[in-house]
Chain A
Amino acid sequence: MTIATAPSAAARQPQAYKSDYKPIWCPGCGDYSVLSAFTKAFAALALKPEQTAVVSGIGCSSRIPAYLTSYGFHGVHGRALAAATGLKVARPDLTVVVAGGDGDGYSIGGNHFLHACRRNVDLTYVVMDNHVYGMTKGQPSPTTEPDWVSKLSPAGTGLRVFHPLVVALAAGANFIARGFSGDPNGLAALLADAMRAPGFSFVEVLSPCVTYRPEQREWKGQVRSAPVGPTDDAARAARRLLTDDGFNIGVLYRGSRKPYQPPVGKGAARAAELEKAFEI
């Protein structure tokens, strides 16, 4: 989608979506790029900030709502998807984006992640994955490699990592993609794509943590454009995931499930009419 060239487009410059609060993320953090990509995506979609809500949980990435001029909800740890579901179902007119990290989203938020994919409300869920709990000083998260040593797991976790794209596909997400913070323009396009896609769109973004996982600066040398384009066939997408090493960037799957949105504000009956059933 090319960007509008009309003069009114000035009102939809990416900068217009940035709030006055300056991020406290460590310099070098991938989340700065993700923030930038968000603003570009919002601008590309010409979103009205007042019609957009960003819902988050707890963690470094979850600080993002305060840095945007849209409405924001910084909730409790792991429950962003639940809050966002309530918001979107009650207010289908809003564009609702959910943001958080891998700890917030896949650990304590794991249950809600499963059911959000299954429920398929029209949300866009962006997880900034740095394979660590950053805000509490470096504990392993579900995507942390089994041999990564930390204070809480002095011999490594020894656990198989959580594969978010596999879980999303199995649970029914309607749009599944992986992005990389080192490519803010590509990521902006991905986010815009995800937001345009109906139903539950899930974008896992590799976003390095330079403080606890400085080796992740090497990710830019490891990521690659996914060798094939997206598929609308869940089985094919599943087969691709069998050989996915976690560094393929692009859209994996575009489904055609109908989004879940119960009709809201349609019933015109008054409360008094409901009483009739009790009348003797």
Chain B
Amino acid sequence: MSPTRPARKARPAPKRKTAPKLRVVKAARPGPTPARTMGELMAHAYALEVEASERYAEFAEAMEAHNNREVAELFRKLARIEHRHAEQILEQMRWIRPPAPPSTGYRWEGLEAPETADFTALHYLMQPYHALVIALHNERRAHAFFQHLAVGATNDKVRREAESMAAEEAEHVRLIEAWMKRTPMPEAGWDHDPDPPRHVD
């Protein structure tokens, strides 16, 4: 993973009495930290897919525990798809072992990686269509992420690869859109539950 341009001189660490400020980034206003090398780009792409897959798997478990089997199955499917994307990156880069995850200082576009769905998006009665809406949103954000990386790329190789990844995410967007067309829209009152919440402890 040799850099294609000379390494920058390391800046001396600033003297501080207190620890560096924790950065909690809100919406997509500042762009993502640019990737300097192909390897870095693909490591981030890999992390993106893995996180997305893990998040969908968690969603599947939460829905399963609440007897929403259909949506649980759909999230499991999405988890498998993302996992496959991650594996494809390993194959493409000929990596035997997964790359190191991005450092904690790394800035995605939002609070989490762009393809990672927000936990609060779930509802225990949600319909398959809702799950796909979430997936579509994630794929679109991932697409935008790679586009921004392409625009901010400091070398051609990285830019071409970022554009290629963006194109792939665009394809994912189309696939989800097609999937949504085959999926019934939620009916009115999908979140209707006349029973009140229960206390269990």
Do A250 and B22 form a contact, CB below 8 Å, given A25-B62, A136-B201, A183-B111? yes
Contact B24 A27 (CB under 8 A): no
Query: A28 near B24 (CB under 8 angstroms)?
Result: no
The B interface is mostly helix, strand or loop, or mixed, namely: loop
Q: Are A208 and B120 in contact (CB under 8 A)?
A: yes
Q: Is A84 close to B, CB under 8 A?
A: no
Residue contact B24 to A250, C-beta cutoff 8 Å: yes
Q: Which stretch (B78-86, B121-129, B160-168, B179-187) binds chain A?
A: B121-129
Inter-subunit contact A28/B65 (CB<8 Å):
no
Interface presence of A44 (CB below 8 A): yes
Question: By the criterion CB–CB under 8 Å, are B64 and A22 in contact?
Answer: yes
Those of A1-50 within 8 Å (CB) of chain B: 1-3, 5, 7, 9-10, 15, 22-30, 32-33, 36, 44
Q: Is the CB of A251 within 8 A of B19?
A: yes
B2-41 interface (Cβ within 8 A of A): 17-26
Contact check: which of B20, B26, B105, B119 meets A32 at CB < 8 Å?
Answer: B119
Q: Are A220's CB and B23's CB within 8 A?
A: no
Q: Is the CB of A3 within 8 A of B124?
A: no
Task: Check B201–A27 contact: CB distance below 8 A.
Answer: no
Given known contacts A182-B118, A189-B22, is B197 in contact with A138 (CB within 8 Å)? yes
CB-CB under 8 A from B97, the residues of chain A are: 7, 10
CA of A3 to CA of B111, assembled, Å: 19
Q: Which residue of the partner chain, among A3, A249, A254, contacts B18 with CB atoms under 8 Å?
A: A254
Cα distance A140–B59 in the bound complex, in angstroms: 29
A29 to B112, CA, bound (A): 17
Contact between B111 and A185 (Cβ–Cβ < 8 Å)? yes
Quote the shortest CB–CB distance from B14 to chain A (angstroms).
12
Shortest A5–chain B CB gap in Å is 4
Q: Tell yes or no: B73 within 8 A of A by CB.
A: no
Q: Are B200 and A2 in contact (CB under 8 A)?
A: no
Contacts of A9 in B (CB 8 A): 100
Closest to B68 in A: A27
Interface string of B62-76 (1 = CB under 8 A from A): 111110100000000
Q: Mark B33-69, 1 if CB is under 8 A from A, else 0.
A: 0000000000000000000001000110111111010
Q: Which residue of A lies closest to B17 (CB)?
A: A232
In the complex, the number of residue pairs spanning A and B with C-beta atoms less than 8 Å apart equals 120
CA–CA, A9 and B196, complex, Å = 46
- Taking CB atoms, residues of chain A closer than 8 Å to B200 are 135
Across the interface, do A229 and B24 meet the contact criterion of CB distance under 8 Å? no
CA distance in complex: A208, B97 (Å) = 37
Residues 173-225 of A at the B interface (beta carbon under 8 Å): 180-186, 188-190, 193, 208, 210-212, 217, 220, 223-225
Complex formed: what's the CA distance from A99 to B46 in Å?
A: 32
By the criterion CB–CB under 8 Å, are A59 and B119 in contact? no
> What is the size category of the interface that chain B forms with chain A?
35 or more
Chain A contacts of B100 at CB under 8 A?
3, 5, 9
Q: Is B92 located at the chain interface by the 8 A CB criterion?
A: no
Verify B24–A183 contact, CB threshold 8 A: yes
> What B residues does A183 contact at CB under 8 A?
24, 111-112
Known contacts A3-B100, A190-B22, A232-B17, A27 near B197 by CB under 8 Å? no
CB-CB under 8 A from A25, the residues of chain B are 62
Give the distance in Å from the alpha carbon of A3 to the alpha carbon of B199 in the complex.
Answer: 41
How far, in Å, is B52 (CB) from chain A's closest CB? 13
Query: Are A33's CB and B24's CB within 8 A?
Result: no
CB distance from B197 to the nearest CB of A (A): 5
When chains A and B are docked, how far (Å) is the Cα of A249 from the Cα of B201?
31
CA A15 – CA B61 in complex, angstroms? 14
Of the candidates B20, B119, B196, B201, which one forms a contact with A29 in the assembled complex, judged by CB atoms under 8 Å apart? B119
Bound Cα distance from A138 to B199, whole angstroms? 9
Select which of B17, B104, B201 is within 8 A of A2 by beta carbon: B104
In the complex, A15 Cα to B126 Cα: how many Å?
26
* 20 cross-chain CB contacts under 8 A: A5-B100, A22-B62, A22-B64, A23-B65, A27-B66, A28-B123, A30-B119, A32-B58, A137-B196, A181-B119, A183-B112, A184-B112, A185-B104, A186-B111, A188-B104, A210-B120, A224-B24, A225-B24, A229-B21, A254-B18
Closest 3 A-B residue pairs measured CB to CB? Answer: A27-B122, A5-B100, A135-B201
